[in-house]
Amino acid sequence: MKIKLDLHVHSEYSHDSSSKISSIIKRAKKIGLDGIAITDHEEFAGAELASKIDKDFIVIKGQEIDTEYGDIIGLFLEKKIETRKFFEVVKDIRKQGGIIVLPHPAKFHILTDEVLKKVDVVEIFNARLGAKENDMSERLAKDIRRIGITGSDAHFLFEIGNGVSVVEAGSRSIDDIKKAILKGDVQMICKRSGKFLRGVALARKILKR
């Protein structure tokens, strides 16, 4: 079955978003998504809350972690990643049975061979980035032979769904979705959000300090 997912969404638990979890789920359902991944910066409480709100709506619990090599997303997590050291983050994600996503690789990353070897999946389209950056991400995924996914990187409700990964899974279970992603049974629906929104998100980050 085809399952439409936005695999990169931020909530008010991130320092640069004010989107409430209940509103995120309401918006995602309204536009026809089957599920989302909550991937807040350095936080996990939003993902845990989202997973309890609507049992008929798929929520993949994730976290975006700022490491010394750049951002890493862990998907299919069970608890918060406390460390911010890259190789310890990788170890913790693996221990939890999660998958390691390299988000927006053209943005603020130190991509050594040792880092790239640890990556399971590359975000080859990020709705907040331009064609040049996303093309670089796609080339990287091909060069290192990794699965590509997309995500909106939504920090505002109306951005949700700008990057949709359509996963061909055996069922709606979390395990089947994870297996399908790792097999590469993913198609993408992509729409850019624009530079203006990134500027607004930065301003919001400063105001929330």
CATH code for position 134: 3.20.20.140
pTM over 0.95: no
Calpha distance 98→59 (Å, rounded):
14
pLDDT values of the chain reduced to their tens digit, one per residue, 209 residues: 999 999 999 999 999 999 999 999 999 999 999 999 999 999 999 999 999 999 999 999 999 999 999 999 999 999 999 999 999 999 999 999 999 999 999 887 899 999 999 999 999 999 999 999 999 999 999 999 999 999 999 999 999 999 999 999 999 999 999 999 999 999 999 876 654 344 443 333 333 44
Domain that holds residue 129: 2-207
**Contacts with 3 (C-beta within 8 Å, 6 or more apart), sequence order:** 34, 35, 58, 166, 167, 168, 169, 172, 177
Calpha distance 196→194 (Å, rounded):
6
Q: Which tokens in the block code for residue 119?
A: 């990556």
**Number of domains comprising the chain:** 1
- Report the largest interatomic distance among the alpha carbons of the chain, rounded to a whole angstrom: 44
Would you state the pLDDT for residue 191?
76
- Alpha carbon separation from 207 to 17, 18, 192 (Å, rounded): 11, 11, 25
Calpha distance 34→57 (Å, rounded):
6
CA angle 14, 76, 92 (to 5 degrees): 85
Would you state the pLDDT for residue 198?
42
Would you state the pLDDT for residue 193?
60
162-176 as b/e, with b when 16 or more CB fall inside 10 Å? Answer: bbbbebebeeeebee
Helix (H) or strand (E) holding 120: none
CA angle 173, 176, 180 (to 5 degrees): 140
The SS3 assignment for 71 reads strand
Q: Which tokens in the block code for residue 177?
A: 């979705």
**Cβ(33)–Cβ(198) below 8 Å:** no
